[in-house]
Chains A and B, each alone.
Chain A
Amino acid sequence: GESVGLHLPTLSVQEGDNSIINCAYSNSASDYFIWYKQESGKGPQFIIDIRSNMDKRQGQRVTVLLNKTVKHLSLQIAATQPGDSAVYFCAELGGGADGLTFGKGTHLIIQP
C-alpha cells in the first residue's frame, strides 16, 4: 500500500545549528501535509502544514518545503534549541482515506 516514511530515524545536531528533517511520500493524490512534534510520553503537537498547491511555507523558526516532483517533504528548524528535542512526524492526507497517514518519525537530538 501507499505509505509515508522518513529517510533517517535519528538526527543529531549541535545547539544553534539548523536542522533538516526529511520525509518521502508515495501517494501522489495526497493534497495536504502536516509536520507534528512529539515529546516523550505526550501527544503530537502541530508544527506546520502545507497544501499541495504550495512549495514552501514558513512559520516561526520552521519552514516546510514540498517537492511534488519527487514526492519529498522537509522540515527545516532554524537555530535549534534544546526544547526542539523530540520525534518529528510527517503526515499526509488524501487518496481516499479519512485519517492522516503518519511516517515512523525522526528523533531529533540536540547536542549542547
Chain B
Amino acid sequence: NAGVMQNPRHLVRRRGQEARLRCSPMKGHSHVYWYRQLPEEGLKFMVYLQKENIIDESGMPKERFSAEFPKEGPSILRIQQVVRGDSAAYFCASSPRGATHNQDTQYFGPGTRLTVL
C-alpha cells in the first residue's frame, strides 16, 4: 500500500513564477491537509480539503496561494508570483476520515522543497 506521494520533491523557481505542488493521498483516504515548514520551525497548518471541497483554509495566505482537490487526480497547492519568503518545505498529509474524527492519524508525504531564487 503506497503511502502519501508528493511531487516534485524539489522545485526551484525565480521570483514571480508560479509553483505547483502535487499530493496523492494514501489509498482509501479522501481527506488531505497541507502544511508548511520553515527552516528550524515546526509544521504550520495551511489548508484542509476533501474531494472537490475546501473545508478549512484558515492557515493559508489570502493572496497568491490556492489549493484544490479535484474528483480525479491529486491535490494541488498553487503559489502564484512566488517570493523568496515562500521558500520552505511543503508537506501533504492524508487521513481516512475527516473533521468528525480528529483522533485519526495523519500520514505525511515526503514533502516538496521549494526554493525561490
Bound pair (A, B): no
Interface residues of B, Cβ cutoff 8 Å to A: none
